Chains A and B, each alone.
Chain A
Amino acid sequence: MGYRMYFVVEDDPAVADALESLLEGAGLEVCVFGSAEELMRNGLPKANDTMIVDLGLPGMSGGELVRRLGKVGAAPRVIAISGKSSRTIAREVEGINDIKILRKPPSADWLEAITA
């Protein structure tokens, strides 16, 4: 098993911090960004990394970020989180393959869902 980073892209500081606590508590390497733009400026995730991205980011949306990363050849495993309706989510991730969706608020253990 290779070196894996967990990228969290979430604009709500509390949600981001809670995710970081959860992942770090499990001994995982975590990097948190408040926006898609911030992530793009700070080095892109690689294929064996995992990116947990809020779909409803201000500025560049989560869906847009995933599509951009796909275009530049950076294709991490993607887990999208969203509090919106399933129809909105479906529209936002249209055309993106292999995307796992976690809905806010969590109804199950997210660590298991993220590391599975």
Chain B
Amino acid sequence: MVKVDDRNTTVNEARFESLLDTAADGIIVMDERGRMLVFNKICETMFGYSSEEAVGKPVNLIMPPEFSTDHDRYVRNYHRTGEKRIIGIGREVSGMHKDGTVFPLELSVGEAVTPEGRQYIGVLRDLRPRRAVEVRVSQLQAQVVHMTRLSAMDEMGAAMAHELNQPLTALLLYLQAVTRQIKNSHAEGQVPSEKVLGVLDKAVTEAERASHIVQRMRQMVEKRDPERATIDLREVVNEALDLSEFVAQSATVTIRRVYGPNPIWVDADATQIQQIVLNLLRNALEVAKESEERWVKVSIGSDDRSAVVSVTDSGPGFSEEVSRSLFKTFSTTKKSGMGLGLAISRAIAQNHGGDLMADSGGSGQGATFTLVLPVHRAAVDEG
């Protein structure tokens, strides 16, 4: 009997060893007093200690010093109160490599009651690779946003040049008029009249109009890192609408704005949100232009959880088939490659913890695109 038991134990141990070494995550078993009993292969690479070095040592060995005091307190607290802060929950913690490098870890902890007392099993995952991917994704997204912004600028370039031409023309003509009048009054020995000052004022207004256009262009083109801030969604959307209204000045589509009187606060990158709105608007305007009623409605609303921007056009809506492929990258029903815009817009929205949805409309109803963003919450949760 005893022999069979022994053999079973040996088999179990062998299995356990092999399990530990094959695991893709770091595994540590710790006793009640915080000493490490098991330190698997992944842990060896993760922390730079060999299993022989680590086993028998306190778990504080692999923690940054400022965490290890806290850790001792947590363990004591758990033993006293039984209140579970991490067991069965898992959380993000910091680990320290033998060389002193501190890095983020995802840690989940389980508990086993053994004849030798309570033991804790920790499963650890190095978060650095995931972080690196996240950072890269966010960089790429910013880059793509920049690129779509540039291509939007390309389309707008002609319109912008035309818009700049008007204030510059008026400005130069005012100045020509003033110059003439001043020369005349000078020749007649008079001081320049009120009228001259009036014309100069107008000249300044036109110069400002021109510089405004340039500033807006610059904001569109300048590349920058994503910047989150708490912003009033109405204001951000309004700016985007002003911009496209001014680009599409000669177009005959009416843009209706349906907003409430109160600010709607969201935590977002204003330029990226405007990019989404511009994108939706450009699509809607294009569709509305071909329709009979020629309008685009932009409404903004919110409840206590999310804020919503909806863009509806007066067009005929689109088919099931189109709506299925709508958000696929590079899919488009138009030549200008709007599909890319929609896919990116949705990615940006999701990056903000929101989403972008399409209602295909049809049977007399135009399509509606809805951007959802979580509303700003004053710091509620702690830890």
Contact = CB atoms under 8 A, between A and B. Distances in A.
Interface stretch (A16-24, A33-41, A43-51, A64-72): A16-24
Interface string B167-179: 1111111101100
A26 interface: yes
Contacts of A83: 161-162, 165-166, 169
B166 A14 contact: yes
B206 interface: yes
A109 B179 CA distance: 11
A20 to B, nearest CB: 9
A18 B177 contact: yes
Given A18-B202, A105-B165, A110 B180 contact: no
A21 B162 contact: no
B377 to A, nearest CB: 46
Contacts of A26: 180
B152 interface: no
Interface in B171-208: 171-174, 176-177, 180-181, 199, 202, 205-206
A105 B169 contact: yes
Given A22-B177, A25-B180, A14 B206 contact: yes
B63 to A, nearest CB: 68
Contact of A14 (B162, B176, B209, B250): B209
A15 B250 contact: no
B302 to A, nearest CB: 38
Interface in B134-182: 161-162, 165-174, 176-177, 180-181
Nearest to A102: B169
B165 A58 contact: no
A29 interface: no
B176 A109 contact: yes
What is the size category of the interface that chain B forms with chain A? Answer: 20 to 34
Given A58-B250, A83-B162, A18 B169 contact: yes
A74 B161 CA distance: 34
B165 A18 contact: no
Given A14-B206, A26-B180, A21 B173 contact: yes
A111 interface: yes
Given A14-B206, A21-B199, A106 B166 contact: no
A104 interface: yes
Contact of B170 (A15, A84, A111): A15
B105 to A, nearest CB: 62
B368 to A, nearest CB: 30
Given A18-B206, A58-B250, A12 B170 contact: yes
A14 B206 CA distance: 8
B207 to A, nearest CB: 11
Contacts of A109: 176
Interface string B191-235: 000000001001001100100000000000000000000000000
Given A25-B181, A83-B161, A111-B180, A18 B174 contact: yes
A17 B170 contact: yes
A14 B167 contact: yes
Contacts of B169: 12, 15, 18, 81, 83, 104-106
Given A14-B205, A21-B199, 20 more contacts: A14-B209, A15-B173, A18-B170, A18-B177, A22-B173, A22-B177, A22-B180, A25-B180, A25-B181, A25-B199, A83-B165, A84-B162, A104-B165, A104-B166, A105-B165, A106-B169, A106-B172, A106-B176, A111-B176, A111-B180
